Structure 1
Amino acid sequence: MTDIAITLADIDFLQEQLNFSEISPVDFENLVFHLLDEMGFSNLTWRKGGEGNSATDGGRDLEATFWTVLPAVSKEEKYWFEVKYRKGQLEKSQVQGTVLNAAGNNSKDNVVIVANKTISNPTLDWIKEFQNTHKTPSVSVWQGHDLELLLRKNPRTLARFLPSSLAFSGRCKVIESKFSNLMLLPAGGELDELWNKREEYYENSYLTLIAMLAEVAYGDVVARQWGLDIDEARLFAVAATGMLNVYPFILKCSALNREQAILINGLSYIIQCLLLRIGEELTAKVLFNPEEFAEPGMELPDKLRFNRYEPIFNTIFHDLSVRCSEIFCSKVSHIHKQKKSSYFNRFLQVPVKEDEDETLILNSLHGDCRIGIVAKDEYCPLGNLNETPEALSGLVERLKFARGVIISRSGELSENA
């Protein structure tokens, strides 16, 4: 996985004119700031202090620099932006005041007036006359329609401040970009829309993967059962896509200081759904060597393969072990050390420190397996959480058992419903 830039086609936009009245004057100022950053301007600074200053004017000054690279010469030019938010047409006196003020500052190469509305023809004529008699600074005007064209060429800013201007296909591209570049998952209304319109992006396994990871992290996989709803071919493609990208995802999370557990928990859910629906043989292959289902020539050493699927496999077996043994089980039980000793800590002036996550797992040869898939004189595989198989055959065997647990326990729930 690499960082991706959004490339939006006409079909990704709603064709109506952008409605800048949807955003406040302060948000409009921030929109201009982020637009300049996306366009490549640097050294962006506010000239009038903190955010919200000069609110009565509906605008504040921005300074920035921009490198122009030409075949014969390269140079850095200085810009002064005056942001003007109006409910109606921008007044001529405001434009004249801005231009004349800038003309007295010789340190600026360019002055740009940015308005959400239009500027009258007499005002534009006055600017032309001024420019005929003044070589510097160069004066430009971005009216509402000019700003619209710039925003459509710089869709990240557009999606952030005016998301209603994007069609569903455009919003999907923004979701993919935010995840790939920032490891940000959709939530709330975005996740609702991805579920409701899931058939509209059937072939996009990467976007489906993002939606399923988000549902596990922020949503409700009981109410919206992605792993059971989408067909087997799509689920298989999503699982393979997820496993192929484990290392890139983890590296990106580390670079951005994001929580990796969200990825591991989401992938473990996807793999369990795949296991339930298509069996242990193909599921083991997806875990062990997803490159088999990708472009030819891709290969990973065995050690890297193991390190890739180990945390996902362990999460599956840990979760199954805890949940399966919650209903009384004489085979496997879990004792959290801190919970066992913390009561008497209240009587110590210097409490004994315990490792919060340390857990004792008791696995017995005796007793009966409640769901009848472990013999009385055998250990339950769910109690062997530190024995991740390194060979494909071992994966198949352990996953076969896990599938039996899922089917038996979910079957019990179905009978009791």
Structure 2
Amino acid sequence: MTDISITLTDIDFLEEQLDFSEISPVEFEKLVFHLLDEMGFSNLTWRKGGDGNSATDGGRDLEATYWTVLPTASKEEKYWFEVKYRKNQLEKSQVQGTILNAAGNNTKDNVVIITNSTISNPTLDWVREFQNTHKKPTISLWQGHDLELLLRKNPRTLARFLPSSLAFSGRCKVIESKFSNLMLLPAGGELDELWNKKEDFYEDSYLTLIAILAEVAYGDIVERQWGLEIDDARLFSVAATGMLNVYPFILKSSALNRDQTPLIQGLSYIMQCLLLRSGEDLAASVLFHPEAFAESDIELPDELKFNRYEPIFNTIFHDLSVQCSENYCSKVSHMSKDKDNSYFSRFLKTPPKKEENSVLILNSINGECQIGLVAKGVYCPLGNSDEAPKTLEGLVSELKFARGVLINRSGELSESA
């Protein structure tokens, strides 16, 4: 997995005019700050107590410098920006006050007044007359329509502050970039839209993978059953894409101090769906060596292959073990190690240390398997949910049993529905 930068094209934008009323005055200031940074301005400094402190008038809002590279020489110019958010047209007195104040300061080469609104023609005429008699500083006026053009040429800022201006294709690119670079999953309205328009990105296995990981983490995978709704080819492609990227995902998550649980839980769900629909042979192959399906010459050592699929396999078996046995089967049971002695620990001066997420799994040869997969006098394979097999053959054998559990237990629910 490599870092993905947002590369938006014309087709990714809606044709409607940008609606600056969607953001607050403070957010508008932040938008201007990030836009100038994206445009190449440097030494950006807020003059009113910091980034986005206020959108009041008077005084200098923002200072910056800009290097201009010429054929014969290069020069650095100083800029003075006034950010004025308005619901209505910007007042002439405000424009005049800003320019006259700047004219008395010889340290600024350029003055730029930025507004989300418009400036009247008489005000524009006054600015032109002033510029004819005052060569310095250079005056620039960025009205709402000028700002729109600049934002469309600098889409990172636009996507961050006005995502509604993007077409669905553009929003998908932003979702992919946020996940690849920041390990942030979509949620809420983004997740709803991905589900409703899932056929619009049929060929994009990576985006589908992100959507499924997000659904498992933040959505309702029972209500929106990605793993059962998409077709076999797409599910297989998503599973292979996920396994190929396990190491990059984990490395990126660690670097950003992100919780890796949503990745493992999501991949566990995807692999169970592949197992249920396509069988243990294909599921085991994707877990063990996904490079074989990517026309890749990479051949990882078996130890790295095992370390890659081990947490996913163990999660599958642990979840099946807990859900299949709880209030259902007496062969396997789960309990916290401190479950029975936690109460009396309060009477000990030196209570035993608690082990986080410590669970005792009891696996018995007694009892009867309620779904008929385990013979009498034999331990249930689900009781060894923390011991992943280290060979492809072992994976096939264990997953065959897991598939039987999935088929039988979901079949029982179907019959009782």
**TM-score of Structure 1 vs Structure 2, range by shorter chain:** over 0.9
Question: Structure 2: any 5+ residue segments left out of the alignment?
Answer: none
Q: Judge which range, 177-186 or 131-140, deviates more.
A: 131-140
Tell me, yes or no, if the aligned pair for 1:306 and 1:390 is still in contact at 8 Å: yes
Alignment of 1:179-198 (within 5 A): 179-198=179-198
2:11 partner amino acid: I
Give secondary structure in 1 for the equivalent of 2:347: coil
Tell me, yes or no, if the aligned pair for 1:14 and 1:165 is still in contact at 8 Å: yes
Aligned-pair CA distance for 1:119: 2.5
- Number of residues paired by the alignment? 417
Q: What CA distance in whole angstroms lies between the structure 2 residues aligned with 1:56 and 1:64?
A: 19
Superimposed CA distance per residue, residues 99-137 of structure 1 (whole angstroms, 9 cap, x where no aligned partner): 232233333333221111222344334444444454543
Aligned-pair CA distance for 1:40: 3.4
Aligned-pair CA distance for 1:206: 0.9
- Counterpart of 1:234 in structure 2 is 234
- Counterpart of 2:36 in structure 1 is 36
* Distance change (3 Å), C-alpha of 1:253 and 1:72: farther
Aligned-pair CA distance for 1:319: 0.9
2:107 partner amino acid: S
Tell me, yes or no, if the aligned pair for 1:59 and 1:85 is still in contact at 8 Å: no
Aligned-pair CA distance for 1:10: 2.0
1:415 partner amino acid: E
- Counterpart of 1:6 in structure 2 is 6
Residue 91 in structure 1 maps to residue 102 in structure 2: no
Aligned-pair CA distance for 1:314: 0.9
Give secondary structure in 1 for the equivalent of 2:334: strand
Tell me, yes or no, if the aligned pair for 2:25 and 2:54 is still in contact at 8 Å: no
Q: What CA distance in whole angstroms lies between the structure 2 residues aligned with 1:297 and 1:352?
A: 51
Tell me, yes or no, if the aligned pair for 2:56 and 2:84 is still in contact at 8 Å: no
Q: What CA distance in whole angstroms lies between the structure 2 residues aligned with 1:74 and 1:316?
A: 62
- Counterpart of 1:369 in structure 2 is 369
Tell me, yes or no, if the aligned pair for 1:81 and 1:113 is still in contact at 8 Å: yes
Tell me, yes or no, if the aligned pair for 1:212 and 1:266 is still in contact at 8 Å: yes
Tell me, yes or no, if the aligned pair for 1:54 and 1:60 is still in contact at 8 Å: no
Normalised by the length of structure 2, the TM-score is 0.93
Aligned-pair CA distance for 1:222: 0.7
Q: What CA distance in whole angstroms lies between the structure 1 residues aligned with 2:121 and 2:368?
A: 89
Superimposed CA distance per residue, residues 33-61 of structure 1 (whole angstroms, 9 cap, x where no aligned partner): 22223333333321012566554539960
- Counterpart of 2:16 in structure 1 is 16
- Identity %, equivalent residues: 80
2:413 partner amino acid: L
Superimposed CA distance per residue, residues 165-200 of structure 1 (whole angstroms, 9 cap, x where no aligned partner): 222111111111111111111111111111111111
2:250 partner amino acid: I
- Counterpart of 1:152 in structure 2 is 152
- Counterpart of 1:246 in structure 2 is 246
Q: What CA distance in whole angstroms lies between the structure 2 residues aligned with 1:59 and 1:348?
A: 66
Superimposed CA distance per residue, residues 40-84 of structure 1 (whole angstroms, 9 cap, x where no aligned partner): 333332101256655453996012233444555455443221101
- Counterpart of 1:168 in structure 2 is 168
Give secondary structure in 2 for the equivalent of 1:63: strand
* Distance change (3 Å), C-alpha of 1:54 and 1:179: closer
Give secondary structure in 2 for the equivalent of 1:371: coil
Q: What CA distance in whole angstroms lies between the structure 2 residues aligned with 1:312 and 1:72?
A: 61
Q: What CA distance in whole angstroms lies between the structure 2 residues aligned with 1:30 and 1:124?
A: 26
2:307 partner amino acid: N
Q: What CA distance in whole angstroms lies between the structure 2 residues aligned with 1:28 and 1:304?
A: 48
Tell me, yes or no, if the aligned pair for 1:18 and 1:165 is still in contact at 8 Å: yes
Q: What CA distance in whole angstroms lies between the structure 2 residues aligned with 1:116 and 1:136?
A: 25
1:232 partner amino acid: D
* Distance change (3 Å), C-alpha of 1:38 and 1:339: farther
Give secondary structure in 2 for the equivalent of 1:105: coil
Give me the CA root mean square deviation: 2.2
Question: Structure 1: any 5+ residue segments left out of the alignment?
Answer: none
- Counterpart of 2:220 in structure 1 is 220
- Counterpart of 1:62 in structure 2 is 62
Tell me, yes or no, if the aligned pair for 1:25 and 1:58 is still in contact at 8 Å: no
* Distance change (3 Å), C-alpha of 1:253 and 1:40: farther
Superimposed CA distance per residue, residues 143-182 of structure 1 (whole angstroms, 9 cap, x where no aligned partner): 2111101111222322232222222111111111111111
Tell me, yes or no, if the aligned pair for 2:58 and 2:98 is still in contact at 8 Å: no
